[in-house]
Structure 1
């Protein structure tokens, strides 16, 4: 696999990981016991830390990309193994 392909897979995993990790560890003003600012949405986070989310997304995407590349090299799971539309052998001509 080319290094540019690995970089593209890493970028996709990073964005997916960042969006998945966004709601974890975030508290609203009601949950934190902090007074709301006038006009603040009820669901607005009090302790939003984008650096922490980016660090966690980086770690998770490194693990996922490593697993993806290893699967590419060693063929642990292939398309033939997960083909749910495969016809039974007696129906194949």
Structure 2
């Protein structure tokens, strides 16, 4: 796995997990027992705690990336190990006629 490919995979994993982590612990101002500020939507989070969510996303992404890296580099799971994938036989190239 090249460095660029690894960074791209990590970025995709991080971005997907960020959207999974964003709703954790979100409460509106009404749920927190305070009045909402004028100019903000009533559904806006009271304290979004984005730094905590970014740190959690980074840690979880590192764990998921390590798992995917191990699968790809060390061939822990191959496509032939997945039971519902079709089986293809290897095709050998014919010798080139000059």
Which consecutive segments of 4 or more residues in structure 1 shift more than 3 A?
none
Rg bigger for which structure? Answer: 2
Equivalent residue number for residue 92 of structure 2 = none
| CA-atom RMSD in angstroms | 1.8
Instruction: State the distance in 2 between where 1:26 and 1:80 align.
Output: 43
Gaps of 5+ in 1: 88-93
Higher relative contact order (CA 8 A, sep 6+): 1
- CA distance in 2 between counterparts of 1:86 and 1:70 reads 24
Tell me the residue number matched to 1:45: 45
The count of aligned residue pairs is 87
Deviations 1:36-89 (A, max 9, x none): 1234322110001221111111111111111111111222222223353537xx
Distance 2:71 2:29 in 1: 44
Q: TM-score, normalised by structure 1?
A: 0.79
1:15 aligns with 2:15: yes
Could you list the runs of 5+ residues in structure 2 that have no partner in the other structure?
88-98
- Output the TM-score relative to the length of structure 2: 0.76
